[in-house]
Amino acid sequence: MTLKVLVGTYNVNKRDISQDLSSWLFQTNSSITDKPDIIVVGFQEFSPFPNAFFTNKRLERYTSLIEKAIFVNTKESYTALVKSNFVGLALFVYVRDKSVTRRILNVEIAKCGVGPLWIGNKGGVGVRIVIDANAFNEEQKYEDRANNTRELALCFVCAHFAPHSHNTYQRNQDFKSICERLVFANNMYSENTENTENTDRDSTHEQRENCEIMMTNMEEDSTPLLSSYHNKNKQQQYFTIYDSDFLFFFGDLNYRIELEKREGFNNPTLTISSLLDILRTRQHQRIRSCDQLAREIIDGRVLHGFEEGDLNFLPTYKYYVGSINEFDVRYRTPGWCDRIFYYWRKGDDEQISDLNVAGTAEQSSPILPINYMSHPSYTLSDHKPVSALFAITPQHERLVVKSGTSNSPFKIDENRDLKFAFGEASSIIVGCLWWLFGTERGVKVILIIGGIGFFGLWVARKLT
């Protein structure tokens, strides 16, 4: 079994996109004949503030643009599995009806705000999808599949980290917070596991029948796709993003090019002028060692165990809006802000602390990056969109952890629900204040209310 997974990420700078998405999402697909089995699209700065705190009016418009691009370029049927937004983040997941839709066992969505007061202006939105892996094994008999269900867990996280060159530490903390608080509940958790295997065997036929149900499009932030899903792993109450067979972490991670020389790294000391000269002559490979994120990964501070395809494109930020290749360095340092990383669950003999530098994927990896590129022709934003196409070959002996031990390098935050609720309340308060005092309509409302109040006070005084 080989799955093709297409991932795209784009910081649209709060602007309403109108450009056709085909050359962004499907240029990577031109080198293969097989259509993507799973298409995942993430946006950052998806909606302008303060509207982002209240509404998701752009969700349907972006849905139409994505679905149009999918149909035009694949001529096949896909199901909209997830359409979810969280303040400035949006995540869309489509699955190919021909190969994946009927094999899905469960879908869970989770969100995490890492902004001030845990507001979601920065944070992550993720989805964990469980697929019946046996269904892809055509050589296995139906009875064997029913008695030995293998679950393939895929996780996709769209993230937006803290801005500005000096905030490297905060960006690392943002990743840590997402690992601690973007958690998926195990709806079949049980402390009593004595008869787990018998229960699973009895429920497998029911699960398979449910998998044959034709699924319609899910609404935004909907409940799990199949409510009767029977999870084989009942010992683990919660799943972190790491508790998956394959994990894709992408978005505007905001790491920049570091101008100063850092101890332990063989790189030149740069000035803005020399950096621009290098970028204009497309000699960006000379300064790959100046990438803040690559340095942090090497030092073991972030994205533990993740890998990245070959980073052969120019930095994706910061451009003049409307420009294909002209960098704007007046107030911001350019950087490879927009990235797509991948992780797969290693065997028990492989330690999660064994880090791999970006662009050094091992040949034994069950994930093959087919293409990884930016798309300069999109000039709506000061960022350039990025896409990556992967071929996944699951290793059946490693599918889904069966113990109650999490693979995450960080412990789950026991106060995550409280922080999320506080962040949601803070978002509403901040949004209301922003709308009232920071928008023309809000100011008019204040003036009208104030005028009515003064008029009422004047009338009351006249009557007394």
Q: Which of 200, 198, 207, 184 is nearest to 233 (CA)?
A: 200
* Distance in angstroms (rounded) separating the CA atoms of residues 128 and 151: 12
- Residue pLDDT tens, the chain, 464 long: 789 999 999 999 999 888 999 999 998 555 456 799 999 999 999 987 666 555 677 888 999 999 999 999 999 999 999 999 998 899 999 999 999 999 999 999 999 999 989 988 899 999 999 999 886 665 454 455 555 567 899 999 999 999 999 999 999 999 999 999 999 987 654 454 444 444 444 444 444 444 443 344 444 444 334 433 444 555 567 899 999 999 999 999 999 999 987 776 777 788 999 999 999 999 999 999 999 999 999 999 999 999 999 999 999 999 999 999 999 999 999 999 999 999 998 765 454 444 444 444 444 789 999 999 999 999 999 999 999 999 999 875 555 545 456 789 999 999 999 998 988 888 888 877 766 777 777 677 777 888 887 877 877 787 77
342 and 446 in a single domain? The answer is no
pLDDT for residue 263: 72
| Cβ-proximal residues to 391 (8 Å cutoff; 6+ apart), any chain | 2, 3, 4, 5, 367, 368, 370
Identity of the residue numbered 426:
S
54 and 27 in a single domain? The answer is yes
* Distance in angstroms (rounded) separating the CA atoms of residues 357 and 201: 42
Domain limits for position 332: 3-413
What does pTM read for this prediction?
A: 0.83
112 and 126 in a single domain? The answer is yes
Q: Using one digit for the tens of pLDDT, what is the confidence trace for 68-79? A: 999 999 999 999
SS3 144: helix
384 and 272 in a single domain? The answer is yes
345 and 422 in a single domain? The answer is no
297 and 206 in a single domain? The answer is yes
Domain at 209, CATH number: 3.60.10.10
12 and 70 in a single domain? The answer is yes
Q: How many domains does the chain have?
A: 2
Q: Show the tokens assigned to 418.
A: 């409280």
427 and 401 in a single domain? The answer is no
Output the CA torsion sign for 37, 41, 42, 47.
Answer: negative
Strands 386-392 and 367-374: antiparallel
434 and 359 in a single domain? The answer is no
170 and 286 in a single domain? The answer is yes
312 and 439 in a single domain? The answer is no
